Structures are given as structure tokens and as C-alpha cells.
Amino acid sequence: MTAWRKEISVHNVSDAVPIRPERILAEVRALLPKDSIVVTDVGWNKNGLAQQFPIYKPMTHLPPSGLATMGFGPAAVLGAKLGAPDKKTIALVGDGAMSAVLGVLATAKERNIQVIWLVMNNHSYGTIYGLQNHAFGRNIGTRFVCQETQKDYNPDFAAAARAFGIEGIFIDKPEQLKPALEKALNSDKPVLLDVSMDRDVAVPTDGYWDILDIYQY
């Protein structure tokens, strides 16, 4: 485990743009109280957190488990906060999951449920995108692209949050992560952080569980 931590430590402080996922996890862990509740969805957010994110207290990490239900995280974080109102509560979710259940923002606003959504936005169904590229050399239906411009496309999740009456913050540089997270953690209202994340980064997993090894046959 010490070797593993050393292997990824360079990525935890990377200033690369788009932002590396390891940098996102490191910034969240550094600021989040140890008894906070972290909810994940499917994809890199769940897998990466399970591999690289220390959990210090029982019942503070709530993943969708093997059911892998996309959209679990953005909604489940509301229940987690209602069940433990004294805990800081954050959902680390992908852009696919957030798109699936955007209506949870209305519920959070109506009930003033003080959660944080951190959207790890890589303009794709990232895990499926990686698997399809690995197995077939293509990304049909897994990368979100505007047909007119052929550029990456997603809704502006921060603007969508503001349309629901919730503070939305767009982040596309690593140095923006810390102040945005501090602001969200100190808020008494729900906050959405839309973080532009690298889609094609080679995440170090050799010898520790590589999802491409699992599905390559």
C-alpha cells in the first residue's frame, strides 16, 4: 500500500488541465472532515474512490455497490444528509449520473438539504468509454459530442444548478478546487461543483485491480 500511495502521489498534486481525477480526490480528502459522508455513483468516481480515498469512520462511504445504478449518487446523497443532518455530506458523481437525475436539485432547494454534488465531468460515460476504446478502438455512444461542431458537449451543470436556485460553480483549473470546496463546505445551502476532468488519463491501477483486465476477455 505504501508503494501504491507513492505511485499516485505525483498525480495527487498534478496541475494538468483538464484536471486529473486523482487531484480531485486528494483535494476533497484534504478538506473533508473524517466523519463526513461520501456518496458515489457508477464509473471512475466509485472505482477511483475505492482505490485511492481513505475512509476513516464506519458508514461514511455509501457506494451503489455491484448494482451500479447510474443516478444513485445524486439522489442518495439527499437521504444520507437527512439521515445524518450534523454531517458534511458530498456526492462524487459523473456527468452521466448527474444528467440522469437532475431533478434532485429541485428537491434539495425545496427542502434546503445542505449537500454538495461534485460532478466529475469528463464529457462521457467514462468507464464504458475506456472499455470500448480498449476492446474495439471506438467510442460509439459513450463520448458526448455536439454533432454540429464535433466538440465535447455537456449541459452547463453549474448554470443548471443556478436555474434551480442552487449555487453552481464551474471549475476547470486545479487551483480552483480548494477555494470552491471550502466555500461549499462552509455553506448552509446545497452547492453543485462542476469540475472539468480528464477523460483519457491513464489511471495507475496495475496490480491493484484494473477494470480493463476484468473485462478484456
Domain locations along the chain: 2-128+156-200
Bridge partners of 89?
37
**Region of residue 59 (phi > 0: left; psi between -120 and 50: alpha; otherwise: beta):** left
CATH of domain 2-128+156-200: 3.40.50.970
In this predicted structure, what is the pLDDT of residue 54? 93
Neighbours of 203 (CB within 10 A): 19
In this predicted structure, what is the pLDDT of residue 202? 53
Per-residue pLDDT reduced to its tens digit, 184-210 = 999 999 999 999 998 876 555 555 555
Whether the pLDDT of residue 212 is over 90: the answer is: no
Given a contact cutoff of 8 angstroms between Cβ atoms, the answer to whether 191 and 181 are in contact is no
In this predicted structure, what is the pLDDT of residue 101? 96
Whether the pLDDT of residue 165 is over 70: the answer is: yes
Given a contact cutoff of 8 angstroms between Cβ atoms, the answer to whether 81 and 87 are in contact is yes
Cell numbers linked to 39: 456518496
Cell numbers linked to 216: 478484456
Q: Which residues have a Cβ under 8 Å from the Cβ of 154 and sit 6 or more positions away?
A: 95, 99, 121, 123, 144
- Determine if the peptide bond prior to 179 is cis (ω within 30°): no
User: In terms of Cα–Cα distance, which of 110, 160, 118 is closest to 27?
Assistant: 118
Tell me what the mean pLDDT of segment 152-168 comes to: 95
pLDDT above 90 as % of the chain:
62
Question: What distance, in Å, lies between the first and last C-alpha atoms of the chain?
Answer: 28
Which is more confident, 151 or 43? 151
What is the maximal distance between C-alpha atoms in the chain?
49
